[in-house]
């Protein structure tokens, strides 16, 4: 008697693997040290018109606090070099690293 092939539906197995991968990513995130306390790519950093919000300005300032260049800030925030230069000048006027920090969150 020949052995019959059974058809296995892969959908439930693939769903289980996807859930396991998601759980592993969540666990990995819990064990890794936190990234930055601010995220230049956070959508709350810009208004719908593309202008920086107070959070976006503070994000720029914190990158300048870390010694980032205007070019680095412009790329990370997706703003022009001229806008980053303007923010650098306003950061300096606010006291640079000694300025009062705005709370993010």
> Token match 């870390």: residue?
66
The fraction of the chain above a pLDDT of 90, given in percent, is 55
Query: What mean pLDDT comes out for the span 40-49?
Result: 86
Q: Which residue has the higher pLDDT, 1 or 39?
A: 39
Q: What angle do CA 24, 30, 36 make, to 5 degrees?
A: 125
Query: What mean pLDDT comes out for the span 29-56?
Result: 79
What is the average pLDDT score of the chain? 86
C-alpha–C-alpha distance, residues 97 and 91, integer Å:
8
C-alpha–C-alpha distance, residues 32 and 72, integer Å:
25
| pLDDT of amino acid 35 | 52
Place 105 in a pLDDT band, splitting at 50, 70 and 90.
low
| pLDDT of amino acid 42 | 84
pTM above 0.85, yes or no: no
| Nearest partner of 105 among 47, 42, 51, judged by Cα | 42
The pair of three-digit structure tokens given for residue 12, joined into one six-digit string: 């439930």
């Amino acid at each position: 008697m020949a052995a019959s092939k059974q058809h296995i539906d892969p959908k439930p197995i693939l769903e289980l693997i996807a859930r396991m991968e998601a759980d592993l990513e969540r666990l990995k995130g819990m064990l890794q040290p936190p990234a930055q306390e601010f995220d230049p790519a956070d959508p709350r950093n810009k208004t719908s018109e593309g202008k920086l919000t107070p959070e976006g300005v503070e994000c720029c300032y914190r990158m300048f606090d870390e010694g980032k260049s205007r070019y680095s800030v412009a790329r990370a925030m997706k703003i022009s070099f001229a806008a980053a230069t303007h923010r650098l000048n306003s950061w300096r006027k606010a006291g640079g690293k000694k300025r009062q920090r705005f709370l993010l969150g």
